[in-house]
């Protein structure tokens, strides 16, 4: 009987914490890159999976993730500010121009303009 009660409590907690997929569209819910699941996308950016690549090697992962947003909404400086405020809370430390380091990995971010869009490229690789 005690096991059944425990299962009911766990199930109720799971159901209470469940949010429908529509809640993921809320701007306050951060999105993350597919191949960099520990790196958030800036709000308003959409990942471009066809331009991304990922390799797993014994020395560590090599990932280039690409995302885009309307250029009228963002500037390269706003992206740098977003990551300078976000990445330290995820264990990344500034390591030079648009570069960060965490444990045995380095992250470099770059932006470019393309057809009225701001393109963001994040590259993570072993140090």
Extract the residue ranges of the chain whose pLDDT is less than 70: 1-29
Which pLDDT value is given to residue 73? 86
Which pLDDT value is given to residue 27? 53
Task: Round to whole Å and give the CA distance between 108 and 127.
Answer: 11
pTM: 0.73
Q: Is residue 24 part of a domain?
A: no
Q: Is residue 4 part of a domain?
A: no
Q: Is residue 96 part of a domain?
A: yes
* SS3 sequence of the chain: CHHHHHHHHHHHHHHHHCCCHHHHHCCCCCEECCCCCCCEECCCCEECHHHCEEEEECCEEEEEEEEEEECCCCCHHHHHHHHHHHHHHHCCEECCCCEEEECCEEEEEEEEEECCEEEEEEEEEEC
Q: Is residue 94 part of a domain?
A: yes
The pair of structure tokens assigned to 114 is: 């393309």
Q: Is residue 58 part of a domain?
A: yes
Q: Which tens digit of pLDDT belongs to each residue from 76-90?
A: 999 999 999 999 999
Which pLDDT value is given to residue 32? 93
**φ, ψ at 9 (rounded to 5°):** -65, -45
Instruction: Give the number of domains in the chain.
Output: 1
Q: Is residue 105 part of a domain?
A: yes
Q: Is residue 37 part of a domain?
A: yes
Q: What is the extent of the structural domain holding 73?
A: 30-126
Which pLDDT value is given to residue 18? 41
Q: Is residue 13 part of a domain?
A: no
């Amino acid at each position: 009987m005690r096991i059944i009660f425990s299962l009911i409590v766990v199930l109720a907690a799971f159901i209470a914490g469940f949010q429908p997929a529509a809640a993921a569209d809320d701007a306050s819910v951060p999105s993350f890159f597919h191949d960099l699941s520990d790196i958030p996308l800036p709000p308003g950016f959409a990942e471009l999976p066809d331009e991304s690549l990922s390799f797993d090697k014994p020395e560590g992962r090599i990932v280039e993730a690409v995302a885009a947003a309307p250029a009228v909404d963002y500037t390269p400086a706003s992206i740098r500010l977003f990551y300078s405020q976000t990445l330290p809370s995820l264990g990344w430390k500034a390591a030079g121009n648009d570069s960060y380091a965490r444990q045995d990995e380095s992250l470099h971010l770059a932006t470019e303009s393309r057809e009225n869009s701001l393109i963001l490229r994040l590259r993570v690789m072993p140090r």
